[in-house]
Amino acid sequence: MSSDALSPMETTSLADQAYRRLRAAVREGSLQPGEKITERDLAARLGVSPTPVREALRQLVHEKVVERVGTRALRIADHSASARSEIVEAEVRLSALMARLAARNATDAQLADLAGVLERADALVGQIEQDVAAHGAHADTTDKLVAIHRLMRRFHHQVEAAVGNPVLEGLLQQARAFSDEERLDLTIKLAPERAEAFRRRFREHRSLLDALVDRDEERAELLAAHHHREALHQLSSS
């Protein structure tokens, strides 16, 4: 089937799959820093047409994972350890600033929405605890963990949206060290061996919401800085 025969939804799905597989290849070292790449070669490696690969590369360029070195030339970005550390620090500081401003600007309706997100996540945590009590280590909680992770990412995105500053939102999006999907992949991978750390970080969302509700800008900023720094360092060390 040619790419022209694909519906927009099918193309988007294939592009998402290509994006995730390319991010994984970079993370696992199959694609090396500094390595030159082409849409055609990557499409052949992934077994798809060039169209979804082109869409995936556009996102990877935006995230600074891939860089353009010419009109058609691309290569995997070569970030040093110090550069990666600086990217993480930039995200931490911007996320903390967004929390401070959210404490100042969030409406009561937005705060209520944030509380609703945490209530849904709390319910899922309760279901996981029941599953583990009933089935022990053999309990399959992956789907619920994925749902909790997506709710927590929604929580953070809604905090950022509550600031009401599209420019700052754009800067934070560009500064992210990991995409939402990459965070999900790493979280599922690390959760079994770092369960207590993940539980502690989950509880921190409630503390942050309390600071936002109290309109305590300084506490919200400090809590967000600690939360994001710990999360990003944990993901970076995987």
pLDDT band at 70 (very low <50, low <70, confident <90, very high): confident
| Interior angle at CA 212, CA 155 and CA 122, nearest 5 | 45
Question: What rounded mean pLDDT belongs to the chain?
Answer: 87
Q: With beta carbons less than 8 A apart as the criterion, state whether 216 and 208 touch.
A: no
What's the first-to-final CA gap in the chain, in angstroms? Answer: 38
Helix, strand or coil, per DSSP, at residue 231: helix
Among 190, 193, 192, 224, smallest CA distance to 207 is for 224
Question: In this predicted model, which residue has the larger pLDDT, 113 or 191?
Answer: 113
Least confident range from 116-120, 157-161, 181-185: namely 181-185
Give the best-scoring range by mean pLDDT among 82-86, 137-141, 223-227. 223-227
75, 67 contact by CB (below 8 A): yes
Contact call for residues 111 and 161 (beta carbons, < 8 A): no
Checking if the pLDDT of 5 tops 60, the result is: no
Reported as type and span, the H/E element at residue 66 is strand 66-68
> Which range is least confidently modeled, 31-35, 37-41, 79-83, 174-178?
79-83
Q: For residue 110, is pLDDT > 60?
A: yes
Q: Span 164-177, mean pLDDT? A: 89
pTM, two decimals, is: 0.72
Give percent of the chain above pLDDT 70: 93
Query: Residue type at 190?
Result: L
Partners of 118 in beta bridges: none
- pLDDT (average), residues 30-52: 91
Question: Per-residue pLDDT tens for 137-158?
Answer: 777 888 998 999 999 999 999 9
Q: How much is the pLDDT for 10?
A: 53
